[in-house]
Amino acid sequence: MVDARHCARDDFASRVIAWQKRNGRHDLPWQKTRDPYRIWLSEIMLQQTQVQTVLPYFARFLTRFPTLEALAGAPLESVLELWSGLGYYARARHLHLCAQTIAEGAGTFSPDPAENVSLPGIGRSTAAAISVFAFGRRAAILDGNVKRVLARCFAIDSAASAAQDERQMWALAESLLPAEKGIESYTQGMMDLGATLCTRSRPACDACPLGTICLAFRDGRQAELPMRRSRRPLPQRVSSLLLLTDGRRVLLERRPPAGIWGGLLSLPEVAGEAAEAFARRHGCRLLNSCALAPIRHGFTHFQLTMQVLRCDVEVISLQAGEGLREWLPLDDVGAAALPAPIKKLLLAAARSGQGS
């Protein structure tokens, strides 16, 4: 077996390119196009999200917003409605802001990744992917799949700090780029290898084109690499929510633009106010109430427990009040821009007839 640390750049790249042409993915809807808008949209959607999940969202987005100009001119609420269920909603807010920034400026993406990386929501790897696939520029990407391939093939142990790890990975990724032709196949191949063969668990090493030069395979370290830094337990947060319904509608509030679920509709969050007083303030008479099972939802930096009090009410005067709240028909929940756990709760209530 050849030591991967001495593997020539062209040999490494040629293995990846040849494998991608024979065995890689070629039929994804954002492939075989040079349209930077479609490539950028797919790259944002694919961040921390699997291809099969992204496919229907990508199709719906292009139907509703076929061009960058259409996306830029749409209200944020419409963008969030289409994004609902895809998660990581900051991506949708940055997507919308980025489209507006480009529409008001150059009108399109630059071929230069150094220029695109300054746009909202676009990091170094996404900027490189746009340059590679839309303009054929030579640039390195470093998403989670690529990191895993490199860490295993070259047996990269964690450095003293996460910043050092990142610098080391970027330097390696850039050093392995093909010298001349094949940058698109190479870039797609690196992503495909990580997604289909060099998976987090049960990697298919026998089918991998890098198998004969992979140090992790040689030493049996596939499960160990890439090394994970120990994490502290996530902080715990608790919020109190009211599910106020008259059987046909539910009262929702618009979340602030920044923070968790920014810009989405959600159940009103209350702190200390009695349910009866809250209902009265919104033109309702409280009929009965009951506590629902707590909902636990994990975020990147904390764990949230939502304590939901269901309040069945009679609407005396139809008002939402305070400008940020609105009554939504339960029949419209499926299409609304709601956080996934809240939408799941309301859809279950509507299906079971609890809201009637």
Tens digit of each residue's pLDDT, the chain (356 residues): 444 445 556 699 999 999 999 999 999 999 989 999 999 999 999 999 999 999 999 999 999 999 999 999 999 999 999 998 898 999 999 999 999 999 999 999 999 999 999 999 999 999 999 999 999 999 999 999 999 999 999 999 887 688 899 999 999 999 999 988 899 999 999 999 999 999 999 999 999 999 999 999 999 999 999 988 777 889 999 999 999 999 999 999 999 988 889 999 999 999 888 999 999 999 999 999 999 999 999 988 999 999 999 999 999 987 655 568 899 999 999 999 999 999 999 998 787 654 44
The pLDDT value recorded for residue 356 is 43
The pLDDT value recorded for residue 4 is 45
The pLDDT value recorded for residue 8 is 59
Judgement on whether residues 241 and 215 belong to the same structural domain of the protein: no
Judgement on whether residues 167 and 198 belong to the same structural domain of the protein: yes
**At which residue do the structure tokens 């590679």 appear?**
132
Six-digit token pair at 223?
A: 């499960």
Please calculate the CA angle 183-185-190 and round it to the nearest 5 degrees. Answer: 95
Domains held by the chain: number? 2
Bond before 226 cis per omega within 30 degrees: yes
What DSSP state is assigned to residue 263?
T
CA distances from 287 to 103, 253, 261, 329 (A): 51, 21, 30, 19
Decide if 154 contacts 215 (C-beta within 8 A).
yes
Q: Is the overall model pTM greater than 0.85, yes or no? A: yes
Judgement on whether residues 197 and 242 belong to the same structural domain of the protein: no
Judgement on whether residues 116 and 253 belong to the same structural domain of the protein: no
Question: Which residues, other chains included, contact 338 with Cβ-Cβ below 8 Å and sequence gap of 6+?
Answer: 84, 252, 264, 265, 266, 346
CATH number of the CATH domain containing 308: 3.90.79.10
Range of the domain at 322: 236-352
Helix (H, G, I), strand (E, B) or coil at 349: helix
Nearest to 20 by CA among 143, 186, 155, 172: 186
- DSSP H or E run through 186: helix 183-192
224 labelled catalytic: no
Judgement on whether residues 285 and 166 belong to the same structural domain of the protein: no
